[in-house]
A and B are shown apart, each in its own frame.
Chain A
């Protein structure tokens, strides 16, 4: 088993970690206290030095993002923590919110001090009822202890923090949609430019939007220094990453690994290998919004930004979905396509129409009614969607669909020609394939 430093999860198994007393007993809130003794720009500098990249999917430099916040605009500066976590295959933020909520709060306070913000919001997906209770209680405790509110540590610094519940819309994870949602509007993305949150964010004020895991990582960075963090992982992918591992593996769950860890070793050792003694067929390493990789493409691939990009996919949110060699890729592609068709916010024609169209085509191929040109048709629709929409949902829809037909063309074509030749073979859908979790 890889011997990974546990930075984010080091205290996760303590049963009282979610309480302020438990958190304090393991050094909690000492890092923000120390950080507030430093100049805010020095705090920002540590985060920059750490090389930390956003854990919500895009992988943008966190320190760099914070440095875009104008300090003298005369407007309030806001922080919004993106705890919407609705991307298929991703369930790591939930763990932090449930089991170590004060870590999340302390990370957010570090950001607040660095950018000198007096108000922040944790936007949590509506379905996360229990995590909501945990984080809300932790905030109440932090207020009672004086870690939140006015004059924190007698410094004169004020920071207020609230939790906002979403109500079931994947697109609200996109940062500008999230801000619209928070303002009481429909959660539809805004056009970038001009709506970069750092400049024109919540109520048109400068706003930092960061993922839960990103903010949580800032605590260890300020505790041990940016250079310490940068020394972990690889040059461009520093630190550790939470991987949400699911699908056909023996040990699904959340693993904290050091960036740069070999992907196949991760499957074998951490995930306990493929279930039922079967073989690996493919993996979506970065959640369903990035391309699938075939088993034979994985030799030498590591879990980090450089290696996964080179292999044609992405670290994304770390939503690591594994499929065994019994998986019907037409069904899998259809399942993913249904998600995107269902979740489009409907603002852009290519996304709204393209999503349904792709689903329809995969659907007819799956049912034995595929047409000879269908594979090319999906290619062409994907080309018309990616790069032609307001937000990156367009790519999230197109890239995976395209990757399924490119990586497993024989399955799609085979299904189509069988149908054309009247040899419809009744297959068990992949949903019939259960048993492992019994």
Chain B
């Protein structure tokens, strides 16, 4: 883990009344650098926050957004919960399965793609939807999803929190537009 990450964590720790509150941020920092949360990440967080490794491990395994297994450079998270299911989310998952020739939570041979079904992402009014890395894509059909995949192949955007911008853009840079009225 880099010195910059340790520096960031020192800053974050200071914001809380108790440094242990920074454990979730610390795990995010570790995941950002390592790509997964494995023993290296657990060890680092445990040293930085002076928490027992088993304690950090417990936290890491409790939450779904800390990846214990590597995921693809583009990780597709298709919402399978009721409102999305009612509007055809299953077709999105089927498309990904055929497109990437992998099962949920497998990574394609080139390390590029993976997908899973997740629970409600708070985007039910624009169902069905899929989160790719940290970016929401809404009002999808298999065709629209395919168009997004093709753009990803061409433009190679990161779609990560650190690269999300504030603009209400249309493009790959997020589609932040929960629909009003």
Contacts and interface: CB of A to CB of B under 8 A. Distances in A.
B179 A88 contact: no
B125 A185 contact: no
B86 interface: yes
A338 B124 CA distance: 17
A246 B124 contact: yes
A167 B67 CA distance: 11
Contacts of B168: 15
Given A137-B166, A186-B58, A187-B63, A438 B91 contact: no
Given A169-B64, A183-B20, A336 B82 contact: yes
A19 B140 CA distance: 29
B98 interface: no
Contacts of B6: none
Contacts of A241: none
A414 interface: no
A417 B65 CA distance: 42
A129 B24 contact: no
Interface in B113-130: 118-128
A168 B63 CA distance: 5
Interface string B140-181: 110000000000000000000100101010000010101111
B53 to A, nearest CB: 14
B59 A437 contact: no
B127 A126 contact: no
Interface string A226-251: 00000000000000000011111000
B86 A327 contact: yes
Interface in A91-125: 91, 93-95, 98-99, 119, 125
A182 B24 CA distance: 8
A254 interface: yes
A71 interface: no
A248 B28 CA distance: 37
Given A127-B131, A434-B88, A438-B141, A184 B24 contact: yes
Contacts of A430: 85-86
Interface stretch (A23-31, A33-41, A158-166, A306-314): A158-166
B180 A253 contact: yes
A434 B135 CA distance: 24
A9 B59 CA distance: 37
Q: Most chain-A CB neighbours within 10 Å: which of B27, B82, B120, B141?
A: B82
B166 A129 contact: no
A285 to B, nearest CB: 13
Given A12-B180, A167-B64, A252 B166 contact: no
A174 to B, nearest CB: 14
Interface stretch (B11-19, B68-76, B103-111): B11-19
Contacts of A431: 85, 88-91
B126 A252 contact: yes
A321 B83 contact: yes
Nearest to A96: B178
Nearest to A202: B17
B121 A127 contact: yes
Given A126-B63, A437-B128, A323 B86 contact: yes
23 contacts: A86-B119, A90-B120, A91-B178, A98-B176, A98-B178, A126-B63, A127-B122, A130-B135, A133-B161, A165-B24, A167-B24, A167-B28, A168-B118, A169-B64, A185-B59, A203-B17, A288-B81, A321-B124, A332-B82, A335-B85, A431-B85, A431-B91, A432-B88
Given A89-B83, A430-B86, 17 more contacts: A86-B122, A88-B83, A91-B178, A125-B122, A126-B65, A129-B135, A129-B136, A132-B161, A133-B164, A166-B63, A184-B49, A244-B124, A246-B83, A252-B124, A252-B126, A335-B85, A432-B88
Interface of A: 9, 12-13, 15, 76, 85-91, 93-95, 98-99, 119, 125-134, 137, 162, 164-170, 181-188, 202-203, 244-248, 252-256, 270, 284, 288, 319, 321, 323, 327, 331-332, 335-336, 338-339, 342-343, 429-438
Closest 10 A/B residue pairs (Cβ): A434-B88, A431-B90, A184-B20, A167-B63, A168-B64, A168-B65, A246-B124, A246-B83, A129-B134, A167-B65
